[in-house]
Amino acid sequence: MTPRRPRLGVMGGTFDPIHHGHLVAASEVAAEFDLDEVVFVPTGNPTFKQGQHVTAAEHRYLMAVIATASNPRFTVSRVDIDRPGLTYTVDTLRDLNLHRPGADLFFITGADAVEQILSWKDPDELFGMAQFVAVTRPGHTLSIAGLPADRVSQHEIPALAISSTDVRARARAGQPVWYLVPDGVVQYIAKHGLYRGNDE
């Protein structure tokens, strides 16, 4: 019997910081699509966040490691933060294909990000490299109209109205971020004074 091809979920994001919305999305898609692993890939320089301040990649990477450490099926990849220049998803998928030959890739996006896929670099190549799974997100209408139906699926997940933008604003204002992000991430933010203007 030929062994089943590994099924690898790919959760791309800025993760500034990683929060429970990201983790629930990955967990739900892993269960629904029978994934063996989900790799979280923090962006290097995000294409869509040029001109905005983004926390140093090493902090974002370490928070992703802390947040995923207890889940044996969750891992974190450095492919995007170690590649110079802007981060494009097509490069992420190319690199993961090189690192994990023979795996079937499932790229997970929230309802807000899926609206932009056609504007991403090399969209036709993208759909050849991975299945895309678009998940619901509070405040955004999920639509996969116009995307190739055989390569893009949608999946409803428990609604967590959490965004990294809100977590950063809370940390800056001295408001609690407990239970929005994993405990270790709360402590990491406090330890390094992130989002208070001294995290350059």
Using the 8-state DSSP alphabet, how is residue 117 labeled? G
CB of 200 to ligand ATP, least distance (A): 17
Smallest gap from residue 117 Cβ to ligand ATP (A): 10
Per-residue contact track with ligand ATP, 98 to 127, x per CB under 6 A? -----------xx-xx--------------
Do residues 164 and 48 lie in contact, with contact meaning Cβ atoms separated by under 8 Å? no
135 binds ligand ATP (CB under 6 A): yes
Which residue in the set 37, 91, 163, 184 belongs to the binding site for ligand ATP (CB under 6 A)? 163
60 binds ligand ATP (CB under 6 A): no
Query: Which residues are paired to 35 by β-bridges?
Result: none
Listed residue (33, 23, 128) closest to 74, CA to CA: 23
- CA gap 100, 39 in Å, rounded: 11
Find the binder of ligand ATP among 9, 13, 44, 182 (CB under 6 A).
13
Window contacting ligand ATP (CB under 6 A); options: 12-20, 84-92, 178-186, 189-197: 12-20
Rg over CA atoms, the chain: 16
Distance of CA 73 to the CA centre of its chain: 15
